[in-house]
A and B are shown apart, each in its own frame.
Chain A
Amino acid sequence: MASDDIWILGIHMTKFGKHPDLDTVDLAAEAAMAALADAQVTMKDIGVLAAGNLMGMGAPIGQMLQKQIGQTGIPVYNVANACATGATALRTAIMAVKAGECDMGLAVGVEKLAGAGLLGGGGRGKSDDDTWSPKGRYGAVAPVDGRIGTEAMPGVFAQIGMEYGHRYGGTSFELFARISEKNHSHSTLNPLAAYSKKMSLEQIMGDVMIAYPNTRPMCSANCDGAAAAVVVSGAKLKTLAPDQQRRAVKVRASILTSDPYEEACQILPNVNTLTREAARQAYEQAGVGPEDLDLVELHDCFATAELVHYDNLMLCAPGEAVPFFESGASWRDGSTPVNVSGGLQSKGHPIAATGIANIWEVCHHLRGEAGDRQIEGATVGLAHVIGLASACGVHILEKAAA
């Protein structure tokens, strides 16, 4: 192992779902302590902590976590990058280790989101004196959500999927529902998923419509959860025990991008270009191609989003996401299994935890520890998240050489 390589030494995700008896700090502590135990190290070994929690609205989750599990005086970076917050925390810890500031770092993402309902949207009413008065960057006299399009996530991502269909054809309500059917089917093998019930195509299509073509089970599940990872330099790993070296997972690529300017990005977020660019950089950094991936965890915040990311991550030729899915490629027995965890639609989406939980899923398979849902012989996997406004994280991970 090269000295300047970065490795995941330990990683953990909590059960996703409802945790009424645990607060944000409890969940973060559970994930962090378990990741440290998995790495066979303690807080005394950690040189940097990066942590994210969106619903805390700027509360210093990293320092709150330190008070729960160990205050060692190390630098803490509290990060926020929408749904890419977890990946951003991980990337921050990786950068610190890569820069030589320390040889081991801890990244944590946590969210309490059970019962949160619809995210995005809403807005203010008339001003206090009940007269129309222009406010904000668009001089709006009333809330624009619902009057000028939609600001709620299910409708935003519905349009992103519909736009793909407009450009390339082949999409339909049923096609998007079948993507959700796949992920709900995969979730039955994941004991940590918030929802692990198989759902038929009829059940999915017949459920409550949220924003056509996304019905309720086609939307990511709001839930509580946390995930944490310990990263280590190759130089330090060489000094650790054989068992730690054997279970370490190599970070072949760690990329974060933002959205470059494009026409229309001011009115509908473009989740495509920054994902494609992150993937391109990640494949180049890792020296692997999409054909080398044994599994992919991608950001299926809505069924309509999964389709476009097949294309953005170059799992298929440009414009070929529909035939790629219809070939069965993204099912767990297909050529490129996608979201074998059940994805955000069933595993759940505790926002700031998601970008580390998807890394955990990939590591779990690369270590050969995924039990009933193990993808046999998995050696290389990719994890992708996107947060609106926008940030995209892509990590490519590889099993340690025997």
Chain B
Amino acid sequence: MSQIPLVDYLVLGDDPHLVAHECTGCGARFFDRRNACAGCSGTEFTPVRIAGEGEVRAFTIVTFAAPGVPVPFVASVVDCDGTSVRGNLVNVEPDPEHVQLGMKVRLTTVPVGADSTGTEAIGFGFEPLGDDGNGSGGN
């Protein structure tokens, strides 16, 4: 079955990862295109791979959302080796006992669903990194 990423900064394949446009002047990273860098006004960018592991810097457990958005889910900000990434925390119970600030997580992919041609959309999330370096669940 063919696959398509939920967003264009998610690269699928054997080694799924996120990419960003990095300003060659100051190193600022953007997930969308910019005409000039918001930080330094430089106009040259180069694609960079974002680290796949990080630390939860902020989270919220959303239990009331817009119509059509399934709840509960854990929204978070993950610091991936200096680049902040917005994503859901997955493969973890969505409650304050299981989700903690500072917890170590890693990128994983999440199926979104198939369209009428059978193409499957694939999203991403972050799952807890166990003490042994293994995640607490599959994807």
Contacts and interface: CB of A to CB of B under 8 A. Distances in A.
A93 to B, nearest CB: 30
Interface residues of A, number: 49
Nearest to B61: A212
B118 to A, nearest CB: 10
Interface of B: 4-9, 28-33, 37-39, 57-71, 73, 75-77, 82-88, 96, 101-102, 110, 112-113, 115-117, 119, 121, 123-124
Nearest to A304: B60
Contact of A121 (B37, B69, B82, B112): B69
B121 to A, nearest CB: 5
Contact of A148 (B62, B63, B87, B96): B87
Contact of A142 (B6, B31, B76): B6
A268 B77 contact: yes
A215 to B, nearest CB: 10
B96 A212 contact: yes
Given A148-B86, A212-B96, A134 B8 contact: yes
Interface stretch (A47-55, A80-88, A124-132): A124-132
Contacts, number: 163
Query: When A and B form their complex, which 6 residue pairs have the shortest distance between CB atoms, in order from nearest?
Result: A139-B8, A122-B66, A264-B84, A146-B69, A158-B60, A163-B58
A137 B58 contact: no
B10 to A, nearest CB: 9
A163 B62 contact: no
B20 to A, nearest CB: 9
A210 B112 contact: no
Contacts of A142: 6, 112-113, 121
B74 to A, nearest CB: 9
B86 A149 contact: yes
Interface string A201-216: 0000000111111100
Given A121-B69, A147-B123, A266-B31, A131 B62 contact: no
Given A138-B8, A148-B88, A159 B75 contact: yes
Contacts of A337: none
A140 interface: yes
Nearest to B8: A139
A166 B102 contact: yes
A142 to B, nearest CB: 6
Contacts of B33: 137
Interface string A238-266: 00000000000000000000000101101
Nearest to A173: B96
A121 B65 contact: yes
Contacts of A209: 61, 63-64
